[in-house]
Amino acid sequence: MTFSDNTLNDSKIFLSNSSNAVAKTSVVGYYLRRFIIHFDKLTFSEATGVYEAFQRYYEEWSKNTKFMNTQEVNLDDWEEALASLKESIKISQEANDNVCLQHALSWLYRLTTVNEDKLIIHCILKSSELTLSYTASLGLQTFGQYECLHTGRTYAIFETLTKSDMINCQHNYKDLISNTYSMKSSLWQLYGKTEMSSLWSQLLLYLNIDSSSPSKAFYGEGFCLAVCNIANHLLIQGEYSLVACVLDFAKRRFPNEPNSHIWMLCENLFVFTRSLHHEKWIEAESAAQKITVVDKWEGYLRLAEVYFYKQDYTEADNCINTVLNQYENDNTYKFSDRYYYVRAKILKAEIQFASSYPDSVPAGIITILNNCLIEAQTSQLDYQSALIHLHIANIMLLIGLTGQALRVLDRCLVQILGHGGCFDRARATLLYVKCLVADSHKSAENERKEIILNSAKLLERVKSNFEKVEAYSRMKDVLYLQAQLYHSINMKTERNKCALEYRLLDEEHVSKNVYTLVKYL
């Protein structure tokens, strides 16, 4: 390569070195030559502007790399993208180029939050008029996502996605078909129907989208999301070896960004969940920090969960307040995803209760949970609603309202047993057993013994579910309770068997949080 006189000598030495040679006819060679030519044509002020822009870019990149933390991006200030887009819109309007204008508009509603819904609707309608079917379908999917985050009207969201499906099928838009399937899977997951979520993900995986090559499918973002949804479903069912296999497939199929972020999040959720069940707080906290890099709010919630179980309630509360403050006070980004908000409020109530009990019960704790329940039900977050009912029932049990606790459990057990993972099913059943036993004092002696015996047998299923997810500390809680129940009805053989199993398990897995049976759900 030839260099002009004002080219830096260091660059000449680097590029002419035999170990770092760049061929003139290579892609890199052409790029460097064009770069040098254009840079030489810049005036001093223009060259200074380029240098300052690159300096800002480098400092931001260096900061993110050093601290491994996500940074809030102010889209109105964000490396001249919106300014360029506005210039494109202006030129399109001057040239009366409606096609270019619609493509620019489809980018505009992604880069701004001002009148986002109106921009999307206008783009959909105008694209349909101009027969820009791809842009119209993409707009429908974006509007479905917007409705999910802002309005929560389930029927309207699925109706919008159905319209996108019709366009995709008519024109065989493989990537958009894949995206629609993955969006439906995510929506069912959001609304607490994990089996439906898994079904839609499996349909996407089995769907052969490439009609020209029947042996090949379209491996895009939607496919990666479906694979990770399956992995998450297997995770809550305690199928850890299968999770590892599915994640290994995702890593090999999607090694590069941005799709790699999807399986990175899934992989760290896997590590986090297993570490939390094993009570390995350091590993769980490390996994939560990594989750924060990919998904900031999910990471904060997971960090709060770790601190909560290790009984560091102050740090747990700080993490929760970060999420709540973002939801309640940030008007720039309009953080309105109620899913995170509801989960944060549930954890907030758990922290308040666990940090006070058994010395006292926080005043108004039931009211806090009821307000959270209204928020969840408004957004059709059925599974989160069921979990809130569980927490309300648990508090009622601990303050002696056993009859009311059983009535509350009747509202949520079907949802949790039908769509929950092994851990949540075990927690729900364990709470049901505790409520039954506590309420049995109202019954006659013989009837009470029958209730206790049936409850002790029901705990076998609870123990199996905790064992499957390797929650050994919770297994010991079940064995302890079983032994106490058998002892109360004078079944010494069964009591001794439970005591022996408890001792063997305790020798292998020492509990770090000994209060889970008493004040944790």
Higher pLDDT, 214 or 276: 276
pLDDT at residue 77 is higher than 60: no
Which of 53, 31, 41 has the alpha carbon at shortest distance from 6?
A: 41
CA distance 495 to 52: 75
What percentage of residues in the chain have a pLDDT greater than 90? 41
State percent of the chain over pLDDT 70.
88
Q: CB neighbours of 341 closer than 8 A, spacing ≥ 6?
A: 323, 324, 327, 375
d(CA 101, CA 314): 52
Contact 141, 164 (CB under 8 A): yes
Statement: residue 355 has pLDDT above 70: yes
In which element (H, E) is residue 159 found? helix 154-171
316-343 confidence digits (pLDDT tens): 999 999 988 887 776 544 445 678 889 9
- What lies within 8 Å, CB to CB, of 25 at 6+ separation is none
Total Cβ atoms within 10 A of residue 56 = 11
Alpha carbon dihedral 273, 274, 278, 279, in 10-degree steps, equals: -30
**CB burial string 465-477: b at 16+ within 10 A, e below:** bbbbbbbbbbbbb
Sign of the alpha-carbon torsion through 379, 381, 382, 385: negative
For residue 17, what is the DSSP state? Answer: S
Q: Helix, strand, or coil here: 485?
A: helix
Contact 220, 178 (CB under 8 A): yes
User: Distance between terminal CA atoms of the chain?
Assistant: 69
**pLDDT per position as a tens digit, 11-52:** 555 445 544 567 777 778 878 888 888 888 888 888 888 888
Q: In this structure, is the dihedral angle defined by the CA atoms of residues 11, 12, 16 and 17, taken in order, positive or negative?
A: negative
Spell out where 9-163 has E strands. Answer: none
Q: What pTM was computed for the model?
A: 0.78
